[in-house]
Structure 1
Amino acid sequence: MAAFPTFDSFQSSRRWPTRLIGTLIVQRSSTTFAVVCAVLVTLFLFPGSYEITELETAPMRITSSLGTVTPVLRIIVLGESRLLTPLLELCDSLAAADYGSDTIALDLWVDHSLRGDAQRLVAWNKGPLHVHQLERAGPLHGWLRTWSPGPDGEEVAIFVADTEVVDPAYYTFLKDAHMRYNHSMDIAGIALHSTKILKFKPGEELQEVVDTTSSVVLYNAAIETRTFSPISLEVWNQFRMWFESKMTDLYFWPFIRGSPTRKGSEWDYFLGSKDVAWNLVFSRFCHEFELSILYPGRGGLSHSTNHGKAQESFNKPQTLEAPVRYSFSEFTRKSQFVSEDSLAIITKIAHQNNGWVSLTVVTHAFVSQALSWLCNVDALEIRPPAIIWLVADADSYNALKDVRGTLALHLDEFSELDGGVSYGTKGYWTLMLERSKVVDDILGCGISVFAFETDQVWFRDPLPLIRSIVREGADIIGALDSKREIGGNLLFFRSSLATREVSREIVAHFQRYYDERYKTRTSHSEPKYLPNDQSLLSNIVIYHRSQSQHVQQPRFFAIPRNLIRDGLWYTTVHGYQPKLGLPMIVNNNFIVGVSNKIQRLKQFGHWFLDNETCNTSRARDAVKGATFVPDPPKATIQEYLRGLSGEEVRNSGVKLPYY
């Protein structure tokens, strides 16, 4: 999974790094006296509010007397009580757990008065032990600054407050949960204890849901969370960057959407405020990105508990069952386009296909092209799995609903397109906008999307290459067209948090441009071009021109243009000799009119229907004896993902790396 750069999330106006002060003094010597006076006065008046610290320049490396150690787990103990006895009790329970032969690192973050005692009294033989000073910078400090993994690390960590003790079987539960849910894009992390499940409905008081039967639950709030293991580095680093951006917003109050916002409410009673607890901030983050936390249910086993509380379930085995999902509120995003029923169907299909679906939009005019494409991929045995036909009319639905192994989904949300969908018409832009909304809603459910169009000819399967690029950490995969924009006819969106944020920006700005042209324009002429999903996506991920300062940069990979060709390829093929150096896919674009598209495919032997019947022999003959353009090597993929700037794209034209 893609990781994000490490950074200091508390580098804000409330913390003054010594390097910054030194820079101010050197650059403006005339202000030296004023700066020094300001620092001294501030420290004198507010001794507990500010710290002068040296910023960490590198992530911590774990070493021991045995040499470099790569721990399976890093335990981060937060000495929030600032007392020695609960710290030692927690460490004793951690030491008594069953870790098998795994190497476990233990990091103790304690008050400065306890460092010596902790170093002397804590016995730990499972791996490296480090004792650090927990700065007095507020409770959020322990959760946000004590773990700063490197961008390419694969470390797993768990935060444990010293108000807790754990049972000997906790590690087995935690390890099994990580192995099972590591690739679930809608889970933020794992807790060791059960949680209070609160549910909010507008106009009513908060209600507690009592579930005494479920062994594990998913809940999208971090209520009373005292033990927490982030599901991945990606989620944790994204949370830290998200929080850093929110700290600059003076009007940000981290309540969950739909919840009571007045101070002193029952919500504040359970979660505190942004000044005293991490729970509320992380809950807001989970709601913005539609993430949940996995908790042991009250019908199962809790693997941690407060000091002094009896825990009868300790030392008992537990199996992970399918979790029951709960939500704090029934609030849905205002931009949600697809109905809950349709999303439930799509989610079910995705869970049967490793968390992603293949998606294409079909209108009545393009049904025959969809069936020709289906004949193409079936004859070559390269049909993508989990195909969902998003159909905009009853005729398309009836034509595709019985195709084996696919789902035709007639979305009532699609607008009536009476004027047709030819390029540049209002119907075309309406369909493109609504397709963007569908993709955005699916990504919001933690489902990755392989979006394609059936107005294509496939000579070989693109998915092996796409899977290999995803394994190298790409968030978005596509191909650049002749205008050096990302084409909308073949895209893979990994449902990472960065991708979801970009998708939301695209929908918001596409909708704004659409409304400006069609709802507020005074001219009677039909606009031919509209800033759209392709141009907006290109501006963000290639040219780095995001219109929102909070959008995180996803890792984009451009499939070489000699693998994905546009319709101009047909103009370069003379005497029909397309079997030498065949691309992977050819888009049947750059020609206007459905009948003209079909005629061109027939001319080159790429129309695979005879009287609506699949001609498998013709489809196989299209690649018989052919040679193919090779995929880019792994080393080139890795180099590309390390960063191709927008300036390089603009200056290189078609001579991009390996293009």
Structure 2
Amino acid sequence: MAKQEQVLHLRQILNRPISLLFLLLALFLLLGVFLPWPESSSLFSFSNRVTSSSSSLESKWRDYSLSQAAKFVAKNGTVIVCAVSSPFLPFLNNWLISISRQKHQDKVLVIAEDYATLYKVNAKWPGHAVLVPPALDSKTAHSFGSQGFFNFTARRPQHLLQILELGYNVMYNDVDMVWLQDPFKYLEGSHDAYFTDDMPQIKPLNHSHDLPPFGQYGGTYMCSCFIFLRPTNGAKLLMKKWIEELQTQAWSESNRFKANDQPAFNLALQKTVHEVDLYLLSQVAFPTGGLYFKNETWVKETKGKHVIVHNNYIIGYENKMKRFQEYGLWLVDDHAFESPLGNLQ
């Protein structure tokens, strides 16, 4: 009889599925309120930590000042500076490999022209990138002669003057360069400013280190892409005059190949030549691209004497890269591990 009662009771329970469902749901809700799932809690906590960490990292570098950055990288009172926007990060890496081979990479400060560059460089190499507001448009690699190129290069003397005012020697390089030797060995004496000639005409090996006489167009043609400055009154005067000359220029389609920082730099040199101790670097050691890449005979005759090769006298990002590749100077593909930034892909 007892067994029949148990069977009857079981049938009554099975006939009440809705009541059981509500009971289970209620139990589930109570557990959810008082005992939250540990997996869910950990997931939300981790997500918040990642977001907070990323935000904190960006805030740190957004607030990083030029004076802090220069102090961090300066070695023996010297800072090596370049200015880069994100499309040119592969060229930055190529340049850094060549500097690392000369053991000077720790002195490098990358002036990022956009936040993408600032964060990417500092994520790989903390402290070696700084952004001096305002940030520029980083969507395209600015071509020579474009308004973007003018806006980019016109900021150069302001950056250099700021570093000089902080009391450091500063060496400026464009990143379409490759170091083959240590350039510091060629900075003879204690002059205010050192620079290179951008003309491809061959000079004697023992040419004068004075500012060359004005050419047929009434001026000089020195390159503004490699400059070494000491924190002297003369070097600061040169930078201030360069800034003044740039302020008188305005970019337009009609003068787009003249509206860049180099003509203004030459005017500043000419107007301060009697007040600033200037030094023209050796042409054979610091050849312009118009000579190195276009005079094979000269390159063979002067082999072993080249210090920095400048990939100018050619327009276009892809064209520059291709020429470096053809001359065995594109180092990124096989030697990225030698750069402090590693593989940027």
Which TM bucket (shorter chain)?
0.5 to 0.7
Deviations 1:141-181 (A, max 9, x none): xxxxxxxxxxxxxxxxxxxxxxxxxxxxxxxxxxxxxxxxx
- Equivalent-residue separation in structure 2 for 1:587 and 1:432 (angstroms): 16
State the partner residue of 1:383. 104
Q: Is the 8 A contact 1:459 1:582 kept in 2?
A: no
Q: Does 1:570 align with 2:293?
A: yes
Q: Is the 8 A contact 1:382 1:460 kept in 2?
A: no
Deviations 1:232-252 (A, max 9, x none): xxxxxxxxxxxxxxxxxxxxx
Deviations 1:182-225 (A, max 9, x none): xxxxxxxxxxxxxxxxxxxxxxxxxxxxxxxxxxxxxxxxxxxx
State the partner residue of 1:553. 275
State the partner residue of 1:496. 232
* Amino-acid identity (%): 19
1:585 CA drift (Å): 1.1
- Equivalent-residue separation in structure 1 for 2:120 and 2:313 (angstroms): 26
State the partner residue of 2:324. 601
Q: Which amino acid aligns with 1:388?
A: L
1:507 CA drift (Å): 0.8
Q: Does 1:346 align with 2:69?
A: yes
Deviations 1:8-38 (A, max 9, x none): xxxxxxxxxxxxxxxxxxxxxxxxxxxxxxx
- Equivalent-residue separation in structure 2 for 1:358 and 1:485 (angstroms): 23
Deviations 1:446-497 (A, max 9, x none): 332111122112110101222xx2xx23000111111752212211111101
Q: Does 1:479 align with 2:192?
A: no
- Equivalent-residue separation in structure 1 for 2:286 and 2:185 (angstroms): 14
Give the SS at the match of 2:279.
strand
113, 117, 120: which one aligns with 1:396: 117
State the partner residue of 2:50. none
After superposition, where does 1:272-283 map in structure 2 within 5 Å?
none
Distance 1:438 1:377, change over 3 A: closer
Distance 1:531 1:495, change over 3 A: farther
Q: Which amino acid aligns with 1:412?
A: P
- Equivalent-residue separation in structure 1 for 2:96 and 2:76 (angstroms): 22
Q: Is the 8 A contact 1:425 1:526 kept in 2?
A: no
Q: Which amino acid aligns with 2:277?
A: R
1:417 CA drift (Å): 5.5
- Equivalent-residue separation in structure 2 for 1:368 and 1:578 (angstroms): 31
State the partner residue of 1:538. 266
Give the SS at the match of 1:401.
helix
- Equivalent-residue separation in structure 2 for 1:400 and 1:382 (angstroms): 19
Give the SS at the match of 1:421.
coil
Give the SS at the match of 1:416.
coil
Distance 1:398 1:540, change over 3 A: closer
State the partner residue of 1:361. 83
Q: Which amino acid aligns with 1:527?
A: N
Deviations 1:487-518 (A, max 9, x none): 1221111110121122112112202213xx46
1:375 CA drift (Å): 2.0
Structure 2's unaligned 5+ residue stretches are 1-61, 201-219, 340-345
State the partner residue of 2:53. none
- Equivalent-residue separation in structure 2 for 1:553 and 1:506 (angstroms): 14
After superposition, where does 1:220-235 map in structure 2 within 5 Å?
none
Distance 1:610 1:357, change over 3 A: same
Q: Is the 8 A contact 1:563 1:584 kept in 2?
A: yes
State the partner residue of 1:529. 257
- Equivalent-residue separation in structure 1 for 2:191 and 2:79 (angstroms): 17
State the partner residue of 1:507. 243
Distance 1:493 1:414, change over 3 A: farther
Q: Which amino acid aligns with 1:565?
A: P
Q: Which amino acid aligns with 1:433?
A: A
- Equivalent-residue separation in structure 2 for 1:395 and 1:612 (angstroms): 24
Give the SS at the match of 2:172.
strand
- Equivalent-residue separation in structure 2 for 1:425 and 1:510 (angstroms): 16
- Equivalent-residue separation in structure 2 for 1:403 and 1:553 (angstroms): 42
1:431 CA drift (Å): 0.6
Q: Which amino acid aligns with 2:66?
A: L
Q: How many residue pairs get matched?
A: 257
Q: Which amino acid aligns with 2:243?
A: V
Larger radius of gyration: 2
Structure 1's unaligned 5+ residue stretches are 1-338, 519-524, 617-659
TM-score norm. by structure 1 comes to 0.36
After superposition, where does 1:65-144 map in structure 2 within 5 Å?
none
RMSD across aligned C-alpha pairs, in angstroms?
3.0
- Equivalent-residue separation in structure 1 for 2:232 and 2:164 (angstroms): 8
After superposition, where does 1:162-311 map in structure 2 within 5 Å?
none
Work out which structure has the larger RCO, using CA pairs closer than 8 Å and 6 or more positions apart in sequence.
2
- Equivalent-residue separation in structure 2 for 1:497 and 1:340 (angstroms): 30
178, 185, 195: which one aligns with 1:464: 185
1:377 CA drift (Å): 2.7
Give the SS at the match of 2:238.
helix
Q: Does 1:583 align with 2:300?
A: no
- Equivalent-residue separation in structure 2 for 1:603 and 1:458 (angstroms): 17
Q: Does 1:428 align with 2:161?
A: no
TM-score norm. by structure 2 comes to 0.66
- Name the structure with the higher helix share: 2
Distance 1:475 1:603, change over 3 A: same
Distance 1:498 1:457, change over 3 A: same
1:403 CA drift (Å): 4.6
Give the SS at the match of 2:65.
helix
- Equivalent-residue separation in structure 2 for 1:610 and 1:343 (angstroms): 31
Q: Is the 8 A contact 1:540 1:553 kept in 2?
A: no
Give the SS at the match of 2:128.
strand
Give the SS at the match of 1:367.
helix
Q: Which amino acid aligns with 1:368?
A: P
